[in-house]
Amino acid sequence: MVPPGATRRNGAAVIEFEEAGFSYGQDRILSGLTLQVTPGSFHFLTGPSGAGKTTFLKMCYLALRPSEGRMLSFGRDAAGMDRDDIARQRQRMGVMHQNCQFLDHLSLRDNIMLPLRVSGRADGNSDQDLDDLLKWVGLEHRATALPPELSGGERQRAALARAIIVAPDVIVADEPTGNLDWAMAEKVLRLLVELNRLGKAILIATHDLNLIRAAKADVNARVLRLAKGRMTVAGTDL
């Protein structure tokens, strides 16, 4: 146990929860969350609609802080962080939001580059890195397209590219294949599996049990289930 607000120096976890809970006002959504997301791990988060998956992911990427218990990000207690600390922590996280939003007046290329520019980390290699990244997600031919011109699958792959341009240690994805047909969902999953093989920790909220089954053929994924405010590890009978 680390004292409140402190840093766990030898902690290996990317994200850690200790008896954490969350309430919106009087409404307690989550409680008793204890979890370690270690480097290179692969977690799915499932559970019924309204169970608190998005709320939990928001705590993971420090958009929300626990109302009780503790959350540590790369060994640092979220409770002790100011805005600058959170911005620095976020540079180590790639986030795919449920409804990925882009700036519609900027090209796909500029949208994906934005997190690097905003964090002041764009340099002479960034254009080449972006070209490589666009190729990797299969969007090199769409680089100059505007976001409204993209298909759902293209948007999700663009969201993934934008999430990883900052070379994060962990990728947090909220329903990354939500509106995609199976072929496209599988494509996005393959990219996430590949990132995991490169050592990134992956945390995905999804309703799609087929996606979980498909991933389990390739990676040692742990499946967490949120229901009635509590988190459990799902059985193997998926």
Ligand X SMILES: Nc1ncnc2c1ncn2[C@@H]1O[C@H](COP(=O)(O)OP(=O)(O)OP(=O)(O)O)[C@@H](O)[C@H]1O
Q: Binding string, 175-214, against ligand X, x = CB under 6 A?
A: ----------------------------------------
| Smaller CB separation from ligand X, 111 or 208 | 208
Please compute Rg for the chain using Cα positions.
18
Of 16, 19, 44, nearest to 226 (Cα)? Answer: 44
Binding window for ligand X (CB under 6 A); candidates: 52-60, 103-111, 128-136, 148-156? 52-60
State which of residues 51, 96, 112, 188 lies at the interface with ligand X (CB under 6 A): 51
Binding window for ligand X (CB under 6 A); candidates: 43-51, 129-137, 142-150, 180-188? 43-51
* Binding status of residue 50 toward ligand X by CB under 6 A: yes
| Smaller CB separation from ligand X, 196 or 206 | 206
Within residues 55-114, the interface with ligand X by CB under 6 A covers: 55
Q: Which residues contact 58 (CB under 8 A, 6 or more apart)?
A: 64
* Binding status of residue 5 toward ligand X by CB under 6 A: no
Of 176, 180, 211, 215, nearest to 196 (Cα)? Answer: 215
- DSSP-assigned beta bridge partners for residue 203: 43, 172
Distance separating alpha carbons of residues 127 and 125, to the nearest angstrom: 6
| Smaller CB separation from ligand X, 45 or 116 | 45
What residue spans of the chain are helical by DSSP H?
A: 53-60, 83-90, 108-118, 126-136, 152-164, 182-197, 209-216
| Smaller CB separation from ligand X, 30 or 188 | 30
| Smaller CB separation from ligand X, 52 or 147 | 52
Distance separating alpha carbons of residues 126 and 112, to the nearest angstrom: 11
Contact residues toward ligand X (CB under 6 A) are: 24, 29, 47, 49-55
